Structure 1
C-alpha cells in the first residue's frame, strides 16, 4: 500500500539516490529497530521522474500503530535533504529574486558570503558544536512542518513545498542573504579604500629608510626607527589623506595610518602571528616594501618567550 510519494528537484545531482538512502536509513532507525524485529514494515522505492514512494508492507504495517513513526522519520530525512542539498539552491533563488534589478550585485559572491555565515569563519572561536547546533535547529524547523504536512497529504513536491510552505525557514534564509549583502558591500568598500591607500603610497616619496614594526600581540604594535629606537610618527601632512584615514580606518588598523604618515622605504614587521589580517593588509598596501620577520637577532630580545609576550628593549 502506497502511503505517499515525494517528488524531488531535477537540478540536484543524484537527488533521488541521496534522498532514498536518507529515508531508508531513517525508517530503519526510527521504526524497524524500534520494533525489535527484523521484519520490514516500510520500504522506499525510487522511480523515474525523480519520485520516491513510501510503501507500507501489509499485513504487518498498521497505520494506527506505525503511522506517526513513519511520518516523523520521513520528515527528519527530508529535512536533512533540504538543509544539506537544497539550501544552497534556495539561497541562490532568493538572491536572484531579491536583487535581479541590481546589476552591480555579484550573486555568486553573495552566495559565498551566505555559505560562510552558515558554515564557515563566522563560527570561528565558537567551535563546531555551535555550528552543528544551528544546523540542527534549521532541520528541526523544517521537519516539524513536513511531518504535519505528510499527516494530511499523500504527495509532497519539494520544489513547491520549499517555495510556498516553509515560510519561517525561507524568511530566515532571506535574512541571511540580507546580512551577507551588507557584509559584501562593507568588504567591497574596504577593499576599494585599501586600493586607494595603495595608490597614495605609490605617489609618496619615502621619508625614512626603514621602520621596524614590532607586533606585541593581539592588535598592539610598537614602531621603531632603523636603529631600533622607538619613535612616534607625526600626523599625515596631506589633510585629505589624514581625514580619510581617521574616518575609514578601524582602531586596530591605525598602525597603517602611522606607516603612511612616515612613508618608509622599507618596513620590517616583527611578529609571531604573520597571518593576522592587519599584517596582510600592510603587505597589500605597501607591497614589496614589506618584509616579515618571525625571529631575528634584532627582535628576539623584545619577545619574552616564557610569558608569550613582549618586554621593552
Structure 2
C-alpha cells in the first residue's frame, strides 16, 4: 500500500539523495514495526520520487509528522534560497550579480537572526514548524506531494514572509549602495582638499556629546572656517553624524584622533572610511583620561 510519494525536481541530485537518507534515518524505527514499511527512491532525468509503502491499514498509524519535519528541513535548506532568488530577480528585476548577492546577503541576515531581536533558533524553528505542520497535515489526507508545487501553492503564509523579507532586504541594499556612493564622494573630496590644520582631536563624551580640539588642544573655532557646529544643543531631528562629518571636512585636518570608549559606533566607522589613513582611534591617553575618565582596570594597558 502506498503511504506517501514525494516528487521533486532534479535541480540538485545530491539534495534528493540527502532527503532520502534523512527519511531513511528518521524512519528506521518504523522498519521494525509490523507494517511491512519500505522506502524507495526512483531518479529520472527531470524528477525524482521517494516513496514509502506498507501493509494494508498502515497509513492510519504512520507517523506523518516525521515526514513533515524532514521535508521542512529540506525546504529551508534547499528550496528557500531558490525561492528568494526567484523573488529578487522576477519581482524586483534585479539582474546584476552584485545586486543579487547583496540582497540575498541581507535576506540571510534577517532570516537567520542577525538583524532581529529574536534568537537564531527561534526564527528558524518558527518557519520550520509552520512548514512541518502544513506538510504533515496535507499528507494525512493525500498520499502524493509535489514539493515545488506545494511550496508555491500551499505555503502562502510562508511565502508572504519571504516576500516581506526580500522587500526589506532590497530597501536595505539600496540604502547601503547609496551610502557607499556618498562615502566614496566624500573620500574623493577629502583627498582633493588641502589640509587646513595639522591635527584635530574628536572627543566622544557619550551619546551625542562630541568636542573638537585642534593640535594645541584648544576648542576649534569654526568661525574661522565659515562653519557652525554645536553638538551639545542638537535638536532631535538633526542628524548629528552628518554634522560631525561636515565639520571635520570643513576644518580639513591632516590627522584626526578619535577619543572614545565606543570605537564600534557607526559614526566612528564612517569617519575612519572617509578620512582613511588620516583617522586613528585612540585607545587611551591623557586627553582620554581628562574627558572620559579611567578605563576599567582590565583595560588599563596604556600610559
TM-score (norm 1): 0.78
Cα distance in 2 between the residues matched to 1:277 and 1:271: 12
Cα distance in 2 between the residues matched to 1:16 and 1:255: 55
Map residues 22-41 of structure 1 onto 2, 5 A cutoff: 22-27=22-27, 32=30, 39=33, 41=35
Partner deviation per Cα, 1:205-227 (whole Å, 9 max, x = no partner): 32221001223345643322212
Cα distance in 2 between the residues matched to 1:93 and 1:235: 56
**Residue equivalent to 1:44:** 39
Partner deviation per Cα, 1:107-153 (whole Å, 9 max, x = no partner): 22211111111115303xx3xx6322121111222222212321232
Map residues 101-116 of structure 1 onto 2, 5 A cutoff: 106-116=99-109
Q: In structure 2, the residue corresponding to 1:14 is in which secondary structure?
A: helix
Question: Is the counterpart of residue 143 in structure 1 residue 132 in structure 2?
Answer: yes
Cα distance in 2 between the residues matched to 1:40 and 1:134: 38
Q: Which runs of 5+ in 2 are unaligned?
A: 229-236, 299-303
Q: In structure 2, the residue corresponding to 1:274 is in which secondary structure?
A: coil
Contact 2:113 2:119 in 1 (8 A): no
Contact 1:214 1:271 in 2 (8 A): yes
Count matched residues. 287
**Residue equivalent to 1:2:** 2
Question: Is the counterpart of residue 87 in structure 1 residue 80 in structure 2?
Answer: yes
Cα distance in 1 between the residues matched to 2:121 and 2:208: 30
Which of 274, 279, 285 in structure 1 is aligned with 2:274? Answer: 285
Shift of 1:102: 7.1
**Residue equivalent to 1:63:** 59
**Residue equivalent to 1:304:** 294
Cα distance in 2 between the residues matched to 1:38 and 1:177: 45
Contact 2:5 2:50 in 1 (8 A): yes
Cα separation, partners in 2 of 1:74 and 1:268, compared to 1, 3 Å: same
Q: In structure 2, the residue corresponding to 1:228 is in which secondary structure?
A: coil
Alignment RMSD, CA only? Answer: 3.4
Q: Which runs of 5+ in 1 are unaligned?
A: 240-247, 309-313
**Residue equivalent to 2:301:** none
**Residue equivalent to 1:178:** 167
Q: Which shows bigger deviation, 113-122 or 4-13?
A: 4-13
Cα distance in 2 between the residues matched to 1:234 and 1:170: 57
Q: In structure 1, the residue corresponding to 2:161 is in which secondary structure?
A: helix
